[in-house]
Amino acid sequence: MSIAYHEESRVISLRTAHQLYQMKVAEGNVLLHLYYGPAAEGEMGYLLRTANRGFCGNPYEQRHDRGFSLDTLPQEYSGSGVGDYRLSAVRAVAADGSRSVDLRYVSHRIEAGRAELPGLPFVRAAEDTETLVVTLRDSVTGLRAELRYHVFPGHDVIVRSVRLVNEGTRPLVIGKAASACVDFPYGDFDVLHFHGRHNMERMPERVRLPRGVTAFGSTRGMSSHQSNPYIILRDRRATETAGDCYGFMLVYSGNHLEEIEVDQLGGTRVVAGIHPEGFAWTLDPGERFDTPECILSHSAEGLNGLSRQFHNLIREQVIAPRWREARRPVLINSWEAAYFDFDAAKILRFAQSARELGVEMLVLDDGWFGKRDDDNSGLGDWTVNEKKLGCSMGELSAQIHALGLRFGLWFEPEMISEDSDLYRAHPDWALCDPDRKPMLSRNQLVLDLSRQDVVDYLFGALCAVLDHAQIDYVKWDFNRSVANCYSHALPADRQGETAHRCMLGTYQLLSRLLARYPELMIEGCSGGGGRFDAGMLFYCPQIWCSDDTDAVERLEIQRGTSYGYPVSAMGAHVSAVPNHQTGRVVPMRTRGIVAQSGTFGYELNPNALTDAEKEEVKAQIADYRRYARLVMHGDYYRLTELDDGKEFSAWMFVARDGGEALVNLVVTHVRANDAFPWIRLRGLIPEACYRLEGSGEIYAGSALMAAGISFPAAAGEYAAHQLHFVRVEG
């Protein structure tokens, strides 16, 4: 059993292969957090110490024990307004206006497996999954909180969420509902978070935690380019290969907040969940509210060890089973090749040339529908512009398939242009404040997917296209942040529910489409990587990593993404040079090596390639097919430390059985008379020997990891090296 209750001490223990999580029901049925960290034996109640701290009050029942304070003891799920002045996990306003939430333990139960989370993405059960449900209750308001813990022992992961239920007789307004709250009474931590902007997403930044509150999040209506819903609490001495690291990842795609507080005594609290700004959810008597899930994992093997645990879980339990083992098709996308300037004849010429190079799928990007010759009109009018194409979508897709290619299509379902037939017919379907001109971005607004009629319209409109053409793949875009978040279908006192209800509507639409088209691959996109999160990965096995296709910039973007998300989820393409975003010129070989550490494809006009470039493309595609399983399913290692000042970036993939490894290195800054680039490899079998393909040289695994390997001095801009090692039997 991975979950155990010790009746005498009232301690609950959750165990995975390498970690222990404990909580205790204390005096007055206060649920205290005891420990989260490396696996250990025994109960950790001995860590609790109490003392009379000035200005730290006591619950009424413990008024004679001035050392027992909610403000100093580690809480499992912190209430509000009742004496714990640290970060709250839940806030609520009762019908009489009172705002105190005092949650006390009532009961718990242990179950095999796990239930689905209604209306939300979730971590799918593994064979060894067990569930703990701990019920807390506020006796005055009747607010019940069911703390849910899904334990994945083989993955070293615990998944948390909370169900709030109004068991009272009057409405409650929930103002904050965190998915997870974890207290660390001891430790000296930094936090690694992932900031960014459009075209430069998920940049890792290590922050030394000060006393007080440090917070990261998004109020943009999406997980955002600016702040990913994933943070790492790391021991200040931790590196890529050693030290305690704790990951907190929300399975959610909307507004989010990750808060860390270092309190007066040096303890650290982490609270993660839906962003409370603008959030207010009314619970009538008997109603419930489910928070998104939060994935927790600990590794004593540094950042790389933590990353691999998240990679394995997302590949195996978040991404749909249909795509877990499937190799992604090599695709070519029309966007940077043609933008809005195309017809069927041009697309077919692209397809013919791409097929000759070994490409397996052509994707027609924006501009095929309604009045859509630029990005100022047409969104919402999902009818094929046959005049522009010169044929129907069914005819075009049939011709693409006749060439032996699969066919994909771009959509932006959650958006609406002011200049569209849909907006002229239903202006109230757009999120927009009454009597106020909206904030515009690309002259488009956001559809109100909190409304069932909008979700139903989109489902019908998308099905009308998908039913009349052979569509294998959909690129699902979301090209602006949400503002003026007002629904014309909700009353004034429930407008605080709009943002989350819109996210639920998006999830419903995705679920319905995948139920109707189970073989359809959907790639998530939001101006590139603006909605790259575990929530979207539940529906989309891959996400376009960034609109920035510059290979040198992609080194940083893909590295930052790798701290939490597997390579199999990263959309990565070879684009033309000079690059359309930066103007940089990078060798074709380097562009290929970088893009092969992703789902791999091309973002260029194949008819504009030289004969030499075409031969390089053929070789790249052959290499991708050869290494695809190793890259998609092998263990990933970053071989250079964050901010180590090296003038190259290196990473590798190792088969789970240690049978082969692929090492990649890109020089990012060439210096005269420089030292040879040198790295230590990781993840190999020490006692095994490995042959370097192409040279026939044989190395001991222990030597490659202890002494490392060097590379030739760089010549020219952005040189790249790729080494393939195969284990020698015997």
What percentage of the chain exceeds 90 in pLDDT?
96
pLDDT for 356: 97
Please report whether residue 128 resides in a domain.
Answer: yes
Location of structure tokens 């998944």: 159
Query: Which pLDDT band holds residue 590 (cuts at 50, 70, 90)?
Result: very high
Distance between CA atoms of residues 628 and 181, nearest Å: 39
DSSP 685-730: -TT-EEEETTT--EEEHHHHHHT-EE-PPP-STT-EEEEEEEEEP-
375 part of a folded domain? no
pLDDT per residue as tens digits for the range 347-405: 999 999 999 999 999 999 999 999 999 999 999 999 999 999 999 999 999 999 999 99
Judge whether 447 lies within some domain. Answer: no
Distance of alpha carbon 75 from alpha carbon 32, whole angstroms: 5
* Alpha-carbon span 552 to 571, nearest angstrom: 16
In angstroms, the CA 237 to CA 471 distance is 50
Its pTM stands at 0.97
**With the C-alpha atoms ordered 113, 116, 120, 121, is the resulting torsion angle positive or negative?**
positive
- Structure tokens that stand for 454 in this block: 């909008």
Greater pLDDT, 730 or 459: 459
pLDDT at residue 715 greater than cutoff 80:
no
Which pair of tokens denotes residue 264?
A: 């007066």
The Cα 49–Cα 57 span in angstroms is 16
**Average pLDDT for residues 173-194, to the nearest whole number?**
97
Q: Are 423 and 417 in contact (CB under 8 A)?
A: yes
The mean pLDDT value for 487-510 works out to: 98
Residue 153 has pLDDT above 70, yes or no: yes
Q: Kindly report whether the peptide bond that precedes residue 578 is cis, defined as omega within 30 degrees of 0.
A: yes
Is the pLDDT confidence value at 541 over 80?
Answer: yes
Tokens of 79: 């209430």
Q: What is the mean pLDDT of the chain?
A: 97
Question: What total number of domains does the chain contain?
Answer: 2
Q: What beta strand segments (E) does 167-309 contain?
A: 172-184, 189-197, 200-208, 212-218, 230-235, 245-251, 256-262, 268-274, 281-283, 288-290, 293-299
* pLDDT, mean of residues 165-179: 98
Looking at the predicted structure, is the pLDDT value of residue 534 above 90?
A: yes
Is 349 inside any structural domain? Answer: no
**Domain hosting residue 661, numbered range:** 638-728
Would you call 466 helix, strand, or coil by DSSP? Answer: helix
Q: Known catalytic residues?
A: 533, 613
Q: Where among 294, 321, 348 does a domain terminate?
A: 321
Task: Give pLDDT, residue 730.
Answer: 62
Per-residue pLDDT reduced to its tens digit, 412-430: 999 999 999 999 999 999 9
Of 305, 321, 337, which residue constitutes the final position of a domain? 321
pLDDT of res. 675: 86
pLDDT of 271? 98
Pairing of strands 245-251, 189-197: unpaired
Domain membership flag for residue 425? no
657-700 pLDDT, tens digit per residue, is: 999 999 999 999 988 888 899 999 999 999 999 999 999 899 99
Who contacts 529 (Cβ-Cβ below 8 Å, separation ≥6)?
196, 201, 202, 225, 543, 544, 545, 546, 547, 557, 561
Residue that finishes a domain, picked among 295, 321, 347:
321
Q: Establish if 257 belongs to a structural domain.
A: yes
Residue 683: give its domain's CATH number: 2.60.40.1180
Asked if residue 428 belongs to a domain, the reply is no
266-278, pLDDT tens digit by residue?
999 999 999 999 9
Map 526-585 to HEC letters: ECCECCCCHHHHCCCCEEECCCCCCHHHHHHHHHHHHCCCCHHHEECEEECCCCCCCCCC
pLDDT of residue 670: 87
Task: Confirm whether 482 is domain-assigned.
Answer: no
What's 9's domain CATH number? 2.70.98.60
